[in-house]
Amino acid sequence: MAYMEASVRRKQLVAAARSVLAREGVARTSLRAVAAEGGVSLGTLQYVFPSKELLLRAVIEDVVDEIAGVLKESVQVEDGLEHAIRQGLTRFWSQLVAEQSDLQLMQYELTTYALRTPGQEHLARWQYERYAGIVAQWCQEAAGKAGEVCAIPFAQLARVVVASVDGLILQHVCDPSPGRSREDLDAVIEMLIGLARVRPAGRVRTAGGA
């Protein structure tokens, strides 16, 4: 087997795991199946990922990085939080939902697998903490660079964003309807913008101020 840098090998195996997970589901995905998909021996895979938990964690991290990349590339954060929410969620939906239903189904399966596997419940919690964390960071950056403030904490806004979009995705996966889903996404975007109530930082009143 040709030598391959550890970082490259890791990416190769994560990509193989994503393919197997999307095709077979989480419960039926084994380290042996991922090794075969990646064209490596089981020993090589276990050297990089000694357990299935570590492999699934790497897959989730890879998905989170993909989401973060789509959000960062979709908008100019200097244009403010409202623009970021509107354009970012629209781009996210078109790239990672409308064209990748298998990816979304895999993420739900990762969550339910972790919740139903004794000792792995923390993986589901960590998964959603990462989702909300990347959204909160992205929203805070957009508001900060535009000199804006949000009416609620960014962490809370992020959790509502994740929860709202999560629900739309689940409905779309169960009953695909591009037109309906896009209309519902637009409604959610307007709801989130209303919740954020973005305003210039200079208009914030201090305690006891006029």
Nearest-10 Cα torsion for 12, 13, 15, 19? 140
Which residue ranges in the chain fall short of pLDDT 50? 1-2, 204-210
CA 51 – CA 190 distance, rounded (Å):
43
Dig out the tokens for 181 from the structure. 């889903």
What is the per-residue pLDDT for 140?
93
CA 47 – CA 110 distance, rounded (Å):
22
Residue linked to tokens 């209309």: 183
CA 100 – CA 44 distance, rounded (Å):
29
What is the per-residue pLDDT for 74?
67
Neighbouring C-beta atoms of residue 122, cutoff 10 Å: 12
Assessment of whether the complete model's pTM goes beyond 0.85: no
Contact 173, 189 (CB under 8 A): no
**Interior/surface letters 183-194, b for 16+ CB within 10 angstroms, e for the rest:** ebbeebbeebee
CA 206 – CA 210 distance, rounded (Å):
8
Query: Pick from 197, 123, 203: which is nearest to 160 by CA?
Result: 197
**DSSP β-bridge partners for residue 111:** none
What is the per-residue pLDDT for 210?
34
- 21-77 pLDDT, tens per residue? 988 888 888 999 999 999 999 999 999 999 988 998 899 888 888 887 887 776 666
What is the per-residue pLDDT for 120?
84
What is the per-residue pLDDT for 179?
93
What is the per-residue pLDDT for 113?
85
- Per DSSP, the residues of 8-43 read HHHHHHHHHHHHHHHHH-STT--HHHHHHHHTS-HH
Query: Cα-flanking dihedrals φ and ψ of residue 177, to 5°?
Result: -150, 90
